[in-house]
Structure 1
Amino acid sequence: MNLNNHILFVRADASDVIGIGHIMRNIPLAQSWKKEGGEVFFISNQLPNNLERRLKNENFDVIYLKSCLPGSAIDALQTVQMAQKKHANFLIIDGYYFKSAYQKIIKEHHLKLLFMDDFGHLDHYYADIVLNRSLISKQISYSNKEPYTKLLLGSKYNAIREEFVKYGDHIPIIRDDIKEVLITFGGADPQNITLKMIEVLNRVFNKDVKVHFIIGATYKHDIELNKIMHSVKYDFKIHRDVSNMADFMHSADIAVTAGGTTLFEMAYMGLPSIVMSTASNQKSSKVFADKYNTCLYLGNALNVGEQLIISNIEKLKSKELRSKMSVNGQRLIDGKGNERLLQEIIKIK
């Protein structure tokens, strides 16, 4: 596939309020587009400085909109003008304030459009492609779309970042005992579940176990975190805004995490996990657990008590259970989503 002189626009935002997921889940496709010779521009209303640097380190261009309400008609028209000025070949929009009217404006200006969806909640879909990677996406009828709109639904379109692709053929080593644990609750973790986990694990692990806490670019609870450091009884380290998440997943025996894109990545890596949802777009988490047995799902993170977390960590001490979860995850996510997405995009006339 040759994308020389082909330009991809991604319209998405990130902040400590909405998190960084809308940006992060577009990086894999942007990497693949770049790898095939194309150019990538991220168009944003706001980004944390750390995330902007990360995008630029990937050799993506970042352009900011002039002051406007995200998702408004002015936002759409500014995006159109930028896309036309750069002769963009394709536009992706990702965010919950991009409604039907926004898509309609984009299509009225004859731009090729992919809309990232999670809920099937819009009045109408005008995009050329609607992409919903959720494990429950096929339960949505999507009858409210244009005749030309193509639906790409399910985990087969889950795109994997380049840092994960290098582990594509690896078979996870399932140790007899848990030696390394990964804790990650997204880029912002507004509910500060990280703090809760630091305290809970005092009742589970000692110095024989290494625990890695990954916090993101928009995490704002450092003061609270620092106050309890002295009371931690196990071996631990806190890492901020890492660019090698795949390496942490590769070395861990289990993880405790939120849902979302991270859960797909853990399945791909064959990493057994305990999952607590922190956002309404993480309904796939329960399906991962109940239907595919790749994780243990505990429910909404704010309602999960310490004893439930501890009892499920005890369950994962079973090597047999971890082995089954690892195999199930790698069977579900094959890592070819990038390729499938690119093939569908270049078909749009």
Structure 2
Amino acid sequence: MKILIRADGGYNIGMGHVMRMLVLADRLKDFSEVVFVCRKNGEFETGVNLIEAYGYPVFTVNGEAIIDQLAGIGGDCLITDSYDADESYFKCTRDIFSITGYMDDLNKVRINADFIINQNIYAQDLGYEKYEGTLLLLGTQYALLRDEFRGLPARKTRRDVESVLVTLGGSDPQNLTEKIALKLGRAFPGITFHVTVGPSFINGDSLEAVE
């Protein structure tokens, strides 16, 4: 089986779509051929680079006539993780691919797909109006966790806090990381803060200057 995964990552939209699809791809590759389909321009280049670093082939497309481009690539299954998908997209892709799936967060449009995954804790409360035959996979039991987060011991709460990890994801276009680091450092001078940023973060120089 050939599975296409349609997802983008970059400076403005962050890397969340790509990261969770990489988790899914790592499971699917054991029994399927997995390829990614991504936009690639200045904004989305970091997403493409990350996927390629994980060893997956990437077909790049532009924003125009994307349905035709997906059909041209071909495959048995299409899994989409993108807020750009609308009802027309779902209708057309379901006519092209034998199996279609969508990774959702918001339930903003009616999704015509064979399965919908929403791993958020509030997913059951969104009131999905599904098409006949659509499988709903809703809730945290469907969370896509990387291997390093599986099987961790129960969390222990320390009475005295000595160090804190601060991370706002893969891009942080508003540079909130720096603002938060400044405020935390001033408010809690006795605590060490470890700040982690992602591949699309572009304010590294100014962040490193924070004391």
Structure-2-length-normalised TM-score: 0.88
2:22 is matched with which residue? 27
CA contact (8 A) 2:119 2:140 kept: yes
Distance in 1, matches of 2:46 and 2:107, equals 31
1:45 is matched with which residue? 39
1:62 paired with 2:44, answer no
Cα deviation digits, residues 140-170 of structure 1 (max 9, x gap): 2222x321111111111101112223xx052
Give the SS at the match of 2:193: strand
Shift of 1:30: 0.8
Question: How is 1:192-231 mapped onto 2 (pairs within 5 angstroms)?
Answer: 192-206=175-189, 209-226=191-208, 228-229=209-210
Partner amino acid for 1:192?
A: N
Q: Which of the pair is proportionally richer in helix?
A: 1
CA contact (8 A) 2:8 2:44 kept: no
Give the SS at the match of 2:116: strand
Question: Judging changes above 3 Å, is the alpha-carbon distance between structure 1 residues 63 and 185 closer, same or farther for their aligned structure 2 residues?
Answer: same
2:167 is matched with which residue? 184
1:11 paired with 2:6, answer yes
Distance in 2, matches of 1:129 and 1:95, equals 15
Partner amino acid for 1:95?
A: S
Cα deviation digits, residues 243-274 of structure 1 (max 9, x gap): xxxxxxxxxxxxxxxxxxxxxxxxxxxxxxxx
1:159 paired with 2:144, answer yes
% identical aligned pairs:
29
Q: How many residues align?
A: 209
Distance in 1, matches of 2:47 and 2:96, equals 30
Partner amino acid for 1:42?
A: F
Question: How is 1:250-269 mapped onto 2 (pairs within 5 angstroms)?
Answer: none
Q: 1:90 aligns with which of 69, 77, 87?
A: 77
CA contact (8 A) 1:48 1:217 kept: no
Give the SS at the match of 2:8: coil
CA contact (8 A) 1:76 1:102 kept: yes
CA contact (8 A) 2:38 2:48 kept: no
CA contact (8 A) 1:31 1:161 kept: no
CA contact (8 A) 2:8 2:48 kept: no
Q: 1:75 aligns with which of 42, 66, 74?
A: 66
| Structure 1 residue runs without a partner (length 5+) | 1-5, 233-349
Shift of 1:50: 4.3
1:323 is matched with which residue? none
Shift of 1:17: 1.4
Query: Which of 1 and 2 has greater Rg?
Result: 1
Cα deviation digits, residues 200-230 of structure 1 (max 9, x gap): 1222333x5332111111112234324x43x
RMSD in angstroms over aligned alpha carbons? 2.0
Question: Judging changes above 3 Å, is the alpha-carbon distance between structure 1 residues 115 and 195 closer, same or farther for their aligned structure 2 residues?
Answer: same
Give the SS at the match of 2:83: coil
CA contact (8 A) 1:39 1:60 kept: no
Distance in 2, matches of 1:223 and 1:57, equals 24
Give the SS at the match of 2:58: strand
Q: Which runs of 4+ in 1 moved over 4 A?
A: 47-50
Partner amino acid for 2:37?
A: I
Question: Judging changes above 3 Å, is the alpha-carbon distance between structure 1 residues 180 and 63 closer, same or farther for their aligned structure 2 residues?
Answer: same
Distance in 1, matches of 2:35 and 2:97, equals 19
